[in-house]
């Protein structure tokens, strides 16, 4: 049996939204939940960047790109978050909790967030 690993060669995203802070980012998510309704969302963190991404709907064209080593996402949202925290809450929506997953050991996310940090987040 042969086992191989072929990392992605390219990541493309077609739009993005930068939030000023992790709190502003989480606030936007929390305020979309009606008051009194409990909810849990999940965001990712690596390299001081809090983020989430949205894929395109499945299609033959997207599948061909992925198989050739090219990941294409529709949209990415992110904010600077220098220190990792495993959850964030918003005072206005106490029943809404956002879990933060540390994906800094994932090669794809590590490179993506380093690029975002160095190119899209104002210093």
pLDDT of 21-72, one tens digit each? 999 999 999 888 888 888 888 999 999 999 999 999 999 999 999 999 999 9
The answer as to whether 16 is a domain residue is: yes
The answer as to whether 95 is a domain residue is: yes
- What pLDDT is recorded for position 103? 98
The pTM of the full predicted model, rounded to 2 decimals, is 0.91
The answer as to whether 35 is a domain residue is: yes
Radius of gyration of the chain from Cα atoms? 16
Number of domains in the chain: 1
The answer as to whether 111 is a domain residue is: yes
Domain span including residue 105 = 11-118
Structure tokens, 65: 């790109």
The answer as to whether 113 is a domain residue is: yes
Structure tokens, 63: 């599948």
Tell me the β-bridge partners of 76.
16, 53
Instruction: Tell me the mean pLDDT in the region 80-90.
Output: 94
- What pLDDT is recorded for position 50? 98
Intra-chain end-to-end CA distance of the chain, in Å: 49
The answer as to whether 42 is a domain residue is: yes
Instruction: State how far the alpha carbon of 46 is from the alpha carbons of 5, 43, 50, 66, 73, in Å.
Output: 22, 10, 7, 23, 18
The answer as to whether 6 is a domain residue is: no
The answer as to whether 39 is a domain residue is: yes
Is 113:54 a contact under the CB 8 Å cutoff?
no
């Amino acid at each position: 049996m042969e086992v191989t690993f072929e990392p992605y060669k390219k990541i493309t995203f077609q739009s993005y939204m930068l939030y000023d802070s992790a709190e502003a980012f989480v606030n936007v998510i929390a305020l979309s939940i009606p008051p009194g309704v409990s909810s849990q969302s999940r965001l990712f963190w690596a390299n001081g960047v809090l983020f989430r991404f949205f894929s395109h709907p499945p299609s033959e064209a997207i599948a061909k790109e992925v198989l050739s080593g090219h990941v294409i996402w529709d949209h990415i949202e992110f904010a600077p978050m220098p220190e990792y925290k495993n959850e964030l809450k918003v005072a206005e929506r106490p029943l809404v909790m956002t879990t933060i997953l540390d994906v800094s050991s994932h090669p794809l996310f590590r490179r993506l967030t380093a690029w975002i940090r160095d190119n899209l987040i104002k210093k």
